[in-house]
Amino acid sequence: MRTLICGSMAYDTIMVFGDRFKNHILPEQIHILNVAFLVPEMRREFGGCAGNIAYNLKLLGGEPLIMATVGDDSAPYLYRLKQQGMDVSHVREVPGSFTAQAFITTDLDDNQITAFHPGAMNHSHENKVADAAGVGLGILAPDGRDGMLSHAREFHAAGVPFIFDPGQGLPMFDGAELLEFLKLADYCTVNDYEAKLVCERTGCDLPELATHVRALIVTLGGNGSRIYADGQRIDIPSVKPDAVIDPTGCGDAYRAGLLYGIGHDLGWEKTGRLASVMGAIKIAHRGGQNHKPGRDEIAARYEAAFGATPW
């Protein structure tokens, strides 16, 4: 099944400062803050929610179709996607812009200072869901505000079931807009903090929010996840990772598992467990797209955790 993934593509530039920010930022002088950090360690990762989700869905054997906007600097990313056998026909290049990118500086206490430039992401509304033929499932991941609103309505108008995944884009929307998303979507996935924020903004509790969609999925980090579907709550256990290296992109890996399970009618318990396995595999690697398990390895990890095969 071809799965349309609407969301961001981005570069993540990650720098490590070999000291602690607190040793260089004077609290009494923050009104005239002017500091520089030497960062001898730096790496650049391919990221963005759409890129990460598509990467993981491809590992599972799915057919991801990315719909995103990128800038003049997108050639390395597009080359990588093509090398992986991805269809990039709906990745729109916006002349005169940069691909969205985050610049993250981390200190020895794992504190982070991040600057994010949306760039071409602000043009995401120029893409149209109806232009993607043969799509049976979709996901609306964090993207430009106008693009998220228009793509939700276009998914619904086209009759394509989709997951609403607001992620870090959630603060852009008020309660009425969030309820509109839920009424248009077939599924919704949020982490526990985002779930609290959605409840606060809409004035609804989780069981009530779940009535608007076929399933509401709430991830709980190392405590697993919960799926509210068919009037029931299904508790999904976490899977022990080989190592805890980098949580970046774990949520996107989890969402790829959801998409594969939904697209292949695996049922909610098996779908949630497959998503949990994908998150556990990802967290043992740096960056959102550097883990490389094949389907056989994913199946073996699932069987080791749950005593059965995923498909």
> In the predicted model, is pLDDT for residue 48 greater than 80?
yes
Top pLDDT among 112 and 240 is at 240
For the chain, the farthest-separated pair of C-alpha atoms sits apart, in whole angstroms, at 60
pLDDT (0 to 100) of residue 83: 95
Q: What is the 3-state secondary structure (H, E, C) of the chain?
A: CEEEEECCCEEEEEEECCCCHHHCCCHHHHHHCCCCCCCCEEEEEEECHHHHHHHHHHHCCCEEEEEEEECCCCHHHHHHHHHCCCECCCEEECCCCCCEEEEEEECCCCCEEEEEECHHHHHHHHCCHHHCCCEEEEEECCCCHHHHHHHHHHHHHHCCCEEECCHHHHHHCCHHHHHHHHHHCCEEEEEHHHHHHHHHHHCCCHHHHHCCCCEEEEECHHHCEEEEECCEEEEECCCCCCCCCCCCCHHHHHHHHHHHHHHCCCCHHHHHHHHHHHHHHHHCCCCCCCCCCCHHHHHHHHHHHHCCCCC
pLDDT exceeding 90 applies to what percent of the chain? 90
Average pLDDT over residues 101-105: 92
Query: Quick check: 100 and 120 in contact, CB under 8 A?
Result: yes
pLDDT (0 to 100) of residue 265: 97
pLDDT (0 to 100) of residue 51: 97
Q: What integer best gives the mean pLDDT of the chain?
A: 96
> In the predicted model, is pLDDT for residue 262 greater than 80?
yes
Q: CATH number of the domain at 2-10+47-100+119-306, out of 3.40.1190.20, 3.40.50.720, 3.40.50.300, 3.40.50.150?
A: 3.40.1190.20
Q: How confident is the model at residue 31 (pLDDT cuts 50, 70, 90)?
A: confident
Spatial separation of the C-alpha atoms in residues 47 and 18, rounded to whole Å: 24
Q: How confident is the model at residue 238 (pLDDT cuts 50, 70, 90)?
A: very high
Query: Quick check: 214 and 262 in contact, CB under 8 A?
Result: no
Closest CA to 281 of 306, 308, 246, 307: 246
Average pLDDT over residues 254-275: 98
pLDDT (0 to 100) of residue 145: 97
Q: How confident is the model at residue 135 (pLDDT cuts 50, 70, 90)?
A: very high
pLDDT (0 to 100) of residue 27: 83
Q: How confident is the model at residue 294 (pLDDT cuts 50, 70, 90)?
A: very high
Name the residue ranges covered by the structural domains of the chain. 2-10+47-100+119-306
Helix axes 250-263, 49-59, angle to 10 degrees: 50
pLDDT (0 to 100) of residue 248: 87
pLDDT (0 to 100) of residue 171: 95
Q: Residue 209 — φ and ψ, nearest 5°? A: -60, -35
pLDDT (0 to 100) of residue 26: 83
Q: How confident is the model at residue 217 (pLDDT cuts 50, 70, 90)?
A: very high
> In the predicted model, is pLDDT for residue 311 greater than 80?
yes
What own/partner pairs with CB < 8 Å and gap ≥ 24 does 235-238 have?
A: 236/269, 236/272, 236/273, 236/275, 236/276, 237/273, 237/276, 238/276, 238/279, 238/280
pLDDT (0 to 100) of residue 30: 82
Q: Give the Cβ contact number of residue 299 at 10 Å.
A: 18
pLDDT (0 to 100) of residue 110: 77
Q: Residue 221 — φ and ψ, nearest 5°? A: 60, -130
Distances in Å between the Cα of 243 and the Cα atoms of 87, 109, 166, 285 are: 32, 19, 28, 8
Query: Quick check: 259 and 223 in contact, CB under 8 A?
Result: no
